[in-house]
Structure 1
Amino acid sequence: MARNRGKIDKPRNSMKAFMRLLSYLKPYKYIVILSYFLMLLSSLGSVATGFLLKPIVNDYLIPGDFNGLLKMLLLLTGISAFTVLASFIYRRIMLEVSQSVISYIRNQLFEHVEYLPISYFEMHAHGDVMSRFTNDVDNLNDALASSLLDLVSAAFTFTGTVIAMLFLSPTLFLITFLSLILMIFIAKSIGSKSRKYFRKQQRYLGDLNGYIEEKVKWQKVIKVFRYESKAIENFELKNKELKRVQTNAMAASYSMMPSMVNLTYVSYAIICVFGGLLAIRGSFDIGTLIAYLQYSRQVSGPIGNATQNINSIFSALAGAERVFEVLDLEKEVDEGKYELVNIRSENGQIIICSDTRCNRWGWHNKETDEIIELKGRIEFKNVNFGYIKDKPVLKNISFYAEPGQKLAFVGSTGAGKTTIMNLINRFYEPDSGEISFDSINIKDIAKADLRRSFGIVHQEVNLFTGTIEQNIEYGRKDSTKAEVIKAAELSNASSFIKHLKDGYQTVIGGSGAELSQGEKQLLSIARAAIADPPVLILDEATSSVDTRTERIIQEGMYNLMKGRTVMVIAHRLSTIHDSDAIFVLEDGEIIERGNHDDLISQRGRYYDLYTGLSILS
């Protein structure tokens, strides 16, 4: 039962999940057939060794033919050796097949997840997404590599054993049959109870794992607010509950084999007495009795194995459904006909430039072959949007940014500032209205090309485990070492990188704990700089750093903003004095617009925020 690591809920449609899982074995169908053929031979060999006891006793042992006995023992040894070898080969084959299938499923799942809409990740806990790759896929691996094999092998062995017992003695088989009925009833009863307990165990285990993940991630908060003792107390409560349900689950599971074994002993004893009486009366020979007794001891084994493996297979099928559930999700819909290309002028006409480092960009219509030079004009026309139906976040939003302008958005938390940026990147689609880029509806622009035209510097910097150079390269995957250095210099990140022991090859963790907040922000700016985007989106990157670091970051951002259309989510209003237009949002609506001087003179919401009469979150 140790295999049941993942969620063990009973699958909603076992056969559908099973048939879909089997479809992954199609490329290996011939080698799988060979494997199961060897399994059949192995099971027949196991059954045959018991059947040979009859002639060994009757024809050689009792008459005293020791030469013949030796030959039979050699034959028995040969069959046993073949059985072991066949078992090893088919398990080795299926191990290779299962690992290949699981590797393919993992790749397929990861590739699919990479192209899911951002809404999926915002609506599902990261731990739940991760469990598809770990618990659920691991359960699939266990089922393909072991449980399914053991179940089929048990079926072969059980069928062969029953046929052999019927052939040896239909009379004694009546006793065995009643015993088997009782065994199946016990197995079904205990198995049902065991699955119920294991479902509860996995629920508690998932809850505990989520609690651990959350508390480990936010250790700084826990320590700052001295929450350690309370966190430990809550953990102990959850761990105690898990211990209780695990004890019940394992107790139910472990009661299976003792019940089977004891029932087998009872059946064995009855058969010994009844068979012995038949042998004394001369209606039963000793060899047949010994062979039958051997089978009566081993017939319960396949039932117990099958019951335990069925639990594992149900767990795997439930996991398979969770994996297939993700694979069946629609990828981001992208019907864009405009692509981003490098351009140059030739004989008064704009043409596509084969040099990927041309300094001009354009939109190429793949259907009409039309090329529109990218200027960087962004416009919202009466845009409405809500993450949840009937709960609007943006209401009739209209504004435009001319090429090279700097626009700023201010407002309290939940006003809709970040949502505007999400819509520009097409992470979400507006419920109504239109967003255009250079007079092209962004729905007509391929998403990858649209996002390539934006450079984003987030307030919360996301770094990846790897070198400084690799983290900057995330901005453009085909960048050179020289371009990485140039981007770092442009963003002012080189000012701290050159003081690191290994420079650009310094390895950092995903959290960037080795770097200060300001250094992480400079890396984020360098990442945007190397992408060399026509439009820049800034989720104010200086709200959590000191004044000196803020000046360094601001200088890096000003270097990056030159010649680009810039859109800023402002947290510190002192950073947006020079904006061409400032939009004040409240409850999803633009309530004020103008430059800094205009808005101050209006003495409205912006004036309150700027002078500190109202708190900006």
Structure 2
Amino acid sequence: MTRPQGAGPPGPAMSGPPAEKPRSFGPSIKRLLRLLLGHRLVMWTVFASTVVSVVLMAIAPRVLGHATDLVFNGFIGSTLPSGITKDQAVAGMRERGDDTFADMVSSMDVVPGVGVDFSAVGQVLLIVALLYVCSSFLSWVAGYLINVVVVRTVRLLRARVEDKIHRLPLRYYDAQARGDLLSRVTNDLDNLSQSLQQTISQFLNSVLMVFALLVMMIWISPLLALIAILTVPFAFIATAQIAKRSKPHFMAQWSSTGALNAQVEEAFTGHELVKVFGRQQQVEATFDERNQKLYESSWRAQFISGIIMPTVMFLGNLNYVAVAVVGGLRVASGSLSLGEVQAFIQYSRQFTQPLTQIGSMFNLMQSGVASAERIFDVLDADEETPDPSSPESPADGNGRIEFDDVSFRYVDDKPLIENLSLVAEPGHMVAIVGPTGAGKTTLVNLIMRFYDVDSGTIRVDGVDSRRMTRDDLRERTGMVLQDSWLFGGTIFENIAYGDPTASREEVIEAAELSHVDHFVRTLPDGYDTLLDEEGGGVSAGERQLITIARAFLAKPTILILDEATSSVDTRTELLIQQAMAALRTDRTSFVIAHRLSTVRDADVIVVMEDGHIVEQGTHDELLATQGAYCRLYNSQFAGPVEDEPVAP
């Protein structure tokens, strides 16, 4: 439906949403985790698979180090003379003054004169291979299951957003740029899905791997473990500081994306007007400006967050050098075997790898959480006031509408409708006329409960409309807007939207009453002609006739026509008025019109100015008073209006 003419809050127009200030990510992360934990059994399976996978991955280097020891011990044993014991060989080394080599051999499991036992080495390598295969399989299982959970969670989130959109009041849409809202429910949801898929499994695996590797390193050598751990605080501090500086830019990135989408959507839907008024350069300049803002925020976000990974890698390389030097000295002194140092160095490299992965994931995590916050903003928006728990429904469906001292305003400090009282009797046509911004469309919006009155009461057949459910109220009401809305489908389906249970004969009858049938018959596919969302293939007037046929098919108790014949020619308008006269029997009709020729036969003409009813009566009665209606009428049919009203 259209925004109230000149009365509602300012629409978003070409301006995007205000830049969003970064908020704490903690609550959003907890909220996401609660959504994921809705699949508890699968998540526990993921956790168990990841734990076992990490444990197997952590054990493998230690076992592989044993194979290195077997090879190295065999090589050293083959260099020693056979026929003596290890103690005799060590003693001979000390006598020659080779104490360092003697210390190393004394700590090794060697047999002088015996070389490498390749059979034992092969068995160890087979065990290592099995460990890696099992670990990789369990990691794949965890990754597959987490993707299933993420897809289901995003599907649930998307469904909640869809449900939420239908529960939001019209006031919310008035304050939102349509392109930005579309960006939230499409781009942000897709970005959140990708971020979760790429980070959750890897993050869990990385955290568990850090702890598992830490245990293994302490087991091998507490001294080397201490050296390796020294880099962790620096890595976390660097990551936290860099992430803190990149977070605002990620928020700006997605805010700019929404603003750019809003501008593109408006430019595309209004491209004809853009060309007519020669505003291509201005539109392009606006696009370039917002595109540049998006580029700058995206570049800053990615550049700053991209520093995390090289920083962590640099600290990891420093740690690697320190471990290699100290480990070599420990082997030379006989405190550690070569296999243990090899395993430790491997653990050291693996230890920095998950830290590096965690650092590199921060940009994805921040981007995903920024999108989540924008989605949660929609989910947390104030909804329409709920329907009453014990609703009432009019016993008679004649369509009597009564406004009793109704007041309403869109903005608190700007009154629009004040103390308005009006009665529309069944079977009567009530025409609402007045200058732009007088509150005409607002009046019918209040009938439909698109907005609730601030004070006073609107009664439908004697029942306060706020005591009825919105579905009950709107099922009794048919509405045709100035801006015709059609969906992608056939002409038949668009008309049948008014009553999905109607037969084909009833649809065609409604089309004949609204003078749709005669032009549909000229189309090659007739009622099966496909229309796109813009109603391509039919003219603006024909689109409006289709929407009128839709309202005719619904056979509503209350019929609202908001400039519904503005796009049709005068002859067709006359025919539609005749059809509506038949349709109005025992029904109440509200007609908003600027073209006063359409309301001459109205039972009551209500003239509104500044939210007040200044006149009401029949066409002849209002002309006789020479008041506001007379001035409007003369402005259309008697030439320009002068300072003093001219009698007809």
CA drift at 1:69: 0.9
RMSD: 2.4
Residues 537-546 or 589-598, more deviating: 537-546
1:334 is the counterpart of 2:387: yes
- The one-letter code of the counterpart of 1:280 is A
**2:138 counterpart residue number:** 86
* Equivalent-residue separation in structure 2 for 1:111 and 1:381 (angstroms): 33
CA drift at 1:543: 2.3
Which among 354, 357, 377 is matched to residue 305 of structure 1? 357
**1:295 counterpart residue number:** 347
Secondary structure at the aligned position of 2:230 is classed as helix
Deviations, residues 422-453 of structure 1 (Å, cap 9, x unaligned): 11112222222222222222223222111111
1:33 is the counterpart of 2:70: no
Assess, with a 3 A threshold, how the Cα gap between structure 1 residues 536 and 150 changes in structure 2: closer, same or farther.
Answer: same
1:52 is the counterpart of 2:52: no
* Equivalent-residue separation in structure 2 for 1:137 and 1:198 (angstroms): 15
Which among 302, 305, 310 is matched to residue 250 of structure 1? 302
Q: Are the aligned partners of 1:378 and 1:438 in contact in 2 as well (CA < 8 Å)?
A: yes
CA drift at 1:253: 2.8
Q: How do 1:434-445 and structure 2 match up within 5 A? A: 434-445=457-468
- The one-letter code of the counterpart of 2:316 is T
* Equivalent-residue separation in structure 1 for 2:487 and 2:400 (angstroms): 32
- The one-letter code of the counterpart of 2:361 is N
Q: Are the aligned partners of 2:446 and 2:452 in contact in 1 as well (CA < 8 Å)?
A: yes
**1:357 counterpart residue number:** none
Q: Are the aligned partners of 2:302 and 2:363 in contact in 1 as well (CA < 8 Å)?
A: no
Which among 233, 255, 262 is matched to residue 285 of structure 2? 233
1:122 is the counterpart of 2:174: yes
Assess, with a 3 A threshold, how the Cα gap between structure 1 residues 200 and 580 changes in structure 2: closer, same or farther.
Answer: closer
**1:484 counterpart residue number:** 507
Q: TM-score, normalised by structure 1?
A: 0.88
Q: How do 1:336-415 and structure 2 match up within 5 A? A: 363=394, 372-415=395-438
Q: Are the aligned partners of 1:112 and 1:331 in contact in 2 as well (CA < 8 Å)?
A: no
Secondary structure at the aligned position of 1:382 is classed as strand
Which among 150, 166, 170 is matched to residue 98 of structure 1? 150
CA drift at 1:515: 1.5
Q: TM-score, normalised by structure 2?
A: 0.84
Assess, with a 3 A threshold, how the Cα gap between structure 1 residues 191 and 323 changes in structure 2: closer, same or farther.
Answer: closer
1:199 is the counterpart of 2:251: yes
Secondary structure at the aligned position of 1:429 is classed as coil
Deviations, residues 319-361 of structure 1 (Å, cap 9, x unaligned): 4444444444334421285666xxxxxxxxxxxxxxxxxxxxx
Q: Are the aligned partners of 2:177 and 2:262 in contact in 1 as well (CA < 8 Å)?
A: no
1:504 is the counterpart of 2:515: no
Deviations, residues 66-122 of structure 1 (Å, cap 9, x unaligned): 111111111111111111111111111121222122212222221232133222222
Q: Are the aligned partners of 2:180 and 2:259 in contact in 1 as well (CA < 8 Å)?
A: no
**1:588 counterpart residue number:** 611
- The one-letter code of the counterpart of 1:453 is R
Q: Are the aligned partners of 1:183 and 1:300 in contact in 2 as well (CA < 8 Å)?
A: no
* Equivalent-residue separation in structure 2 for 1:140 and 1:247 (angstroms): 19
* Equivalent-residue separation in structure 2 for 1:19 and 1:229 (angstroms): 46
Assess, with a 3 A threshold, how the Cα gap between structure 1 residues 479 and 375 changes in structure 2: closer, same or farther.
Answer: same
- The one-letter code of the counterpart of 1:76 is V
Higher CA-based Rg: 2
CA drift at 1:20: 3.7
Residues 285-294 or 108-117, more deviating: 108-117
CA drift at 1:573: 0.5
Which among 281, 288, 307 is matched to residue 333 of structure 2? 281
Secondary structure at the aligned position of 2:405 is classed as strand
* Equivalent-residue separation in structure 1 for 2:55 and 2:429 (angstroms): 80
Residues 118-127 or 213-222, more deviating: 118-127
* Equivalent-residue separation in structure 1 for 2:309 and 2:38 (angstroms): 37
CA drift at 1:531: 0.5
**1:14 counterpart residue number:** 26
Deviations, residues 439-497 of structure 1 (Å, cap 9, x unaligned): 22222322211111111111111111122122112212322222211211121111112
* Equivalent-residue separation in structure 2 for 1:426 and 1:154 (angstroms): 53
* Equivalent-residue separation in structure 1 for 2:359 and 2:501 (angstroms): 54
Count, aligned residues: 578
Deviations, residues 143-173 of structure 1 (Å, cap 9, x unaligned): 5433122111110011111111121122222
Which among 246, 253, 262 is matched to residue 314 of structure 2? 262
Deviations, residues 238-257 of structure 1 (Å, cap 9, x unaligned): 32333333333222233222
Deviations, residues 16-55 of structure 1 (Å, cap 9, x unaligned): x444433434552122211110011111122122222321
Deviations, residues 391-417 of structure 1 (Å, cap 9, x unaligned): 221122112122211111110111011
1:468 is the counterpart of 2:482: no
Assess, with a 3 A threshold, how the Cα gap between structure 1 residues 444 and 249 changes in structure 2: closer, same or farther.
Answer: closer
Assess, with a 3 A threshold, how the Cα gap between structure 1 residues 336 and 81 changes in structure 2: closer, same or farther.
Answer: closer
**2:236 counterpart residue number:** 184
Q: Are the aligned partners of 1:10 and 1:315 in contact in 2 as well (CA < 8 Å)?
A: no
Residues 142-151 or 81-90, more deviating: 142-151
**2:113 counterpart residue number:** none
* Equivalent-residue separation in structure 2 for 1:236 and 1:409 (angstroms): 44
Assess, with a 3 A threshold, how the Cα gap between structure 1 residues 321 and 252 changes in structure 2: closer, same or farther.
Answer: closer
- The one-letter code of the counterpart of 1:35 is V
Q: Are the aligned partners of 1:336 and 1:445 in contact in 2 as well (CA < 8 Å)?
A: no
Secondary structure at the aligned position of 2:437 is classed as coil
- The one-letter code of the counterpart of 1:250 is Q
Q: Give the structure with the larger strand fraction.
A: 1
Deviations, residues 507-528 of structure 1 (Å, cap 9, x unaligned): 2111113221110111111110
**1:213 counterpart residue number:** 265
1:597 is the counterpart of 2:620: yes
CA drift at 1:186: 2.2
1:568 is the counterpart of 2:591: yes
Assess, with a 3 A threshold, how the Cα gap between structure 1 residues 316 and 250 changes in structure 2: closer, same or farther.
Answer: closer
CA drift at 1:559: 4.4
**2:542 counterpart residue number:** 519
Identity of aligned residues (%): 36
Q: Are the aligned partners of 1:404 and 1:566 in contact in 2 as well (CA < 8 Å)?
A: yes
Which among 469, 473, 476 is matched to residue 453 of structure 1? 476
Q: Are the aligned partners of 1:488 and 1:494 in contact in 2 as well (CA < 8 Å)?
A: yes
- The one-letter code of the counterpart of 1:269 is V
Q: Are the aligned partners of 1:385 and 1:395 in contact in 2 as well (CA < 8 Å)?
A: yes
